[in-house]
Amino acid sequence: MKSYLAAAIQMTSLPDLEKNLVQAEELIDLAVRRGAELISLPENFSFMGEEEDKIAQAEAIGLQSEKFLKTMALRFQVTILGGGFPVPTESGKVYNTCLLVDPNGKELARYKKVHLFDVNVPDGITYRESNTVKAGEDWPQVYVSPELGTLGLSVCYDVRFPEMYRYLSQKGADVLFVPAAFTAYTGKDHWKVLLQARAIENTCYAIAPAQTGRHYGRRQTHGHAMIVDPWGVVLADAGEEPGVAIAEINPDRLEQVRRQMPSLQHRVFL
């Protein structure tokens, strides 16, 4: 593993596939020009609209999202994580799918979101992700990269389930991806502290691309795409506007924190 720059992209995705992909390409280009070698896009990067519209367009969204990720990775010669897009299932629902692609446009890892956001948020909005999304049934994957480290995949609401990240750290993860479309209401209180907790307790970097602003109807997201180091220090925060959070992933820092705070070696209940 070497030192390198990683980017967590922040978008305001809309119910318009083509516009979203144009926005994503512009931000990927910006990240590459700033030196990023590992680039991550948020959950719902290619489409964020009403659930019935997502289902109606799911096949096209899924195919174009995957093609886009592979094309961008190959064009810019970087590794890219697409943080979440719908892939149709035989049941009529979709998998909320996270895809990691290498600079040759080759798929490295795929994760289907396990924890679905069925929540009555205190601001009066109810979310029922399970109405249109089928939960994945497999533990998330890690991908071992000699240059970028061991990368662990997750999506958004997963961040509230620490056992999932403990599993990834047991598999050797150095970097935890948490692409998200966190609600504005819950994000202001929970987003940063949850990311810091997952990074600290697993002594890993956390890379969290995010959605921000108003997308459709009353749907509004928190923003603050960020990169957190293994000590819990926020290295980069994209704020509330579309943009890019970029920070160094440093193996020496990782080793230093794990040496100073060897908590993973002190676990009693495995």
CA distance 237 to 128: 29
Known active-site residue 52 = no
Known active-site residue 25 = no
Catalytic one among 66, 112, 134, 156?
Answer: 156
Radius of gyration of the chain (CA): 17
CA distance 226 to 207: 6
Known active-site residue 43 = yes
Do β-strands 210-216 and 107-112 pair in parallel, antiparallel, or remain unpaired?
unpaired
Catalytic one among 37, 43, 66, 134?
Answer: 43
Torsion angle of alpha carbons 175, 245, 116, 130, nearest 10°?
A: -140
Catalytic one among 54, 70, 112, 113?
Answer: 113
CA distances from 234 to 38, 144, 192, 224 (A): 18, 24, 9, 11
Q: Give the active site residues.
A: 43, 113, 156
